[in-house]
Amino acid sequence: MKADPRLLLPGRLVAVPVAGAVLAEALAWGLAAAPGTLSPAWYAVPRLLSAVHLLTLGALSLSIVGFGWQLVPVVTAEAPPPWFEGLARWVNRLAAPGVALLCLGMLGQPPHPVTVLGATLLVGTLVLRSGGVVVLLLRARGRPAVRGWLLAAELCLLVGLGLGASLLAGRLGHPVLPDPIGGIGWHAALLLLGWVGGWIGGLGSVLLPMFAVAPTPRSGALGLAGLLWFGGLATGQVVVWSLGAVVLVASLLWSVHRRVQRRLSVGIATAVCGLVGLLALVGASGRATSPTVAAVALVLFVLPVLRGVTLRIGPFLLWSHHLAQDLRRAPPVASLVPRWPARGAGALAVLGGLLVVGGLASQQFSIGRLGAGLAFLGTLAHGAVLLTAAVRAALARNRLDALGGTEHP
C-alpha cells in the first residue's frame, strides 16, 4: 500500500468554514449577553432563537462542515475523488451565507422572509454535502464502527433538517407538524446529539488517540456505544441513549488515560472537558427542564469538544500546509499555538458555559448574561489564538524559504 499525497486537501476548504464558525459563535454569545435575550420562553424570543441557531448552525455546523472535508478522507484512508473538492468549494460558498440569512431573518417576529432563502441555501448545501460524505463512507473499507457512527449521524442530520424546515414553515403560517413543541425536541435532539454528537463519537476514537499518542478504543465498545446512542435517540429512550453515552465516554477517557503524552495539549484537554460535560448531560437528562438540558448539551458538551478539536487540529493542518515540506527544519506544531492565551480562552469558555447553564437552571438570567459575556470574550480569544497560529506558520514558512534548500543527514 502506498501513501497518497492527495489525502491532504487544500487548506482553504477547512479554514473558511472554521473561520465562519468562530465568527458565528462570537455573534451568538454577544446576542445572548444582551439584555432581554435569555428567557424561559426561549422559543418565543427572536433574539434567543437567533443566538441558539448561530451557535448550532453557525459554530457547530460550519465546524463539522469544515473539518469534515479533511477528516472524511482520514477516516476512509483514501484520497477523495476530484468531485469532492468541487463539492466542498460550493458548499463553503453557500453554507455560511445561508446561516447568516437564516439567523438574521429569525430576529423578526414573525421571521422575515429572508429566513426562507437562508434555510433553502443551508438545507440544500448540507444535504448535498451529506450525500458526498455518505458516498465516500459507504465506498470505504475498514473502521466499521467509526463509519457506522458517521453514517448514522448523517441520517440524523437529514431528518433533523427536515424537522427544522417544517418548524420554520409553521412559524411562517404554514403548519406542517401536528405537535410543534414535540417537533422542537426531536429537531434539537437529532441535530445536537444525533448529528454533532455522532461526529464527536465517531471521530473521537480516531482523533484522540492520534493526537494524544494513545491506544485506540476497542471497536466493539465503540460499536456498542453507537447502537445504544442512536437506538436511544431513535426511540426516545433516554436511559438507552444515556448508556451509550457512558460507554462512549468510558472508552474515550480510558484511551486518553493510557496515552503516552503525559501532559494533555490545551485542545485535547478542552475536548476532555466536553466529554465530562456529556456525563453532566446524562445526569441532567430527564431531571431538568428541556431548555436547561439543551443548554447543557450545547454549552457543556458539544461546544467544548468542537473547540478543543479546532485548537488541536487547526494548528496541525496549518503546520501541514505551510511547513511539512521541510520536516527536518520546521518548528514543532505546538510552537504555533500561544499556550497561555489558548488556556485562557478555554477557561473563559468553560466558566462562561457553566454560568449560562446555571443561570438558565436557576432562572437567574443576570448570571446567564454574565456567562454569555465571558463566553463571548473566550470566543474572541479563541479566534485570536487561531489567527496567531496562522501568522506564526506563515512567518516560519518565510524563514525556511529564506534559509533555502533542504537539509539531509
Partner 1 sequence: MSLLNWIKNALQQDVPNNPAVFELPGEAGQLLAALRHVIDPEVGSDIVSMGLVRGLELDGAAARLRMTLTTPGCPMAGYLLSEVEQVFAAFGIEVDIDLEFEPPWSPAHMSDQGRADVEAGE
Residue 125 contacts residue 102 (beta carbons within 8 Å): no
Residue 92 contacts residue 13 (beta carbons within 8 Å): yes
Residues that bind partner 1 (CB under 8 A): 1-5, 7-9, 70, 73-78, 142, 206, 209-211, 213-221, 250-251, 254-255, 258-263, 316-317, 319-320, 324-325, 327-328, 330, 332-333, 406, 408-409
CB of 4 or CB of 139, closer to partner 1: 4
CB of 1 or CB of 402, closer to partner 1: 1
Least distance (Å) from partner 1 to the CB of residue 325?
7
- Return the C-alpha cell found at 85: 473538492
CA 404 to chain centre: 39
Least distance (Å) from partner 1 to the CB of residue 204?
13
Residue 7 contacts residue 74 (beta carbons within 8 Å): yes
Nearest Cα neighbor of 216 from 246, 260, 282, 265 is: 260
Residue 406 contacts residue 323 (beta carbons within 8 Å): no
Tally Cβ neighbours within 10 Å of residue 408. 5
The answer, yes or no, to whether the previous bond of 110 is cis (omega within 30 of 0) is: yes
CB of 93 or CB of 258, closer to partner 1: 258
CB of 2 or CB of 174, closer to partner 1: 2
Least distance (Å) from partner 1 to the CB of residue 76?
7
Least distance (Å) from partner 1 to the CB of residue 221?
5
Least distance (Å) from partner 1 to the CB of residue 331?
9
Nearest Cα neighbor of 47 from 27, 63, 62 is: 27
Residue type, 251: S
Tally Cβ neighbours within 10 Å of residue 82. 9
CB of 8 or CB of 234, closer to partner 1: 8
Query: Which residues contact residue 82 at a Cβ distance below 8 angstroms, ignoring those fewer than 6 apart?
Result: none
- Return the C-alpha cell found at 194: 444525533
- Residue 110 is given by DSSP the state S
Least distance (Å) from partner 1 to the CB of residue 271?
16
- Return the C-alpha cell found at 166: 417544517
- In whole angstroms, give the CA distance from residue 191 to residue 186: 8
Residue 318 contacts residue 336 (beta carbons within 8 Å): yes
CB of 59 or CB of 203, closer to partner 1: 203
Residue 342 contacts residue 392 (beta carbons within 8 Å): no
Least distance (Å) from partner 1 to the CB of residue 201?
15
CB of 213 or CB of 239, closer to partner 1: 213
CB of 327 or CB of 402, closer to partner 1: 327
CB of 4 or CB of 395, closer to partner 1: 4
- In whole angstroms, give the CA distance from residue 85 to residue 265: 31
CB of 165 or CB of 210, closer to partner 1: 210
Q: Is residue 344 classed exposed, middle or buried when 0-12, 13-18 and 19+ CB atoms within 10 A define those classes?
A: middle
CB of 34 or CB of 250, closer to partner 1: 250
Least distance (Å) from partner 1 to the CB of residue 4?
7
Q: How far apart are the first and last CA of the chain?
A: 27
Least distance (Å) from partner 1 to the CB of residue 207?
9
- In whole angstroms, give the CA distance from residue 79 to residue 2: 11
Least distance (Å) from partner 1 to the CB of residue 86?
19
Least distance (Å) from partner 1 to the CB of residue 312?
10
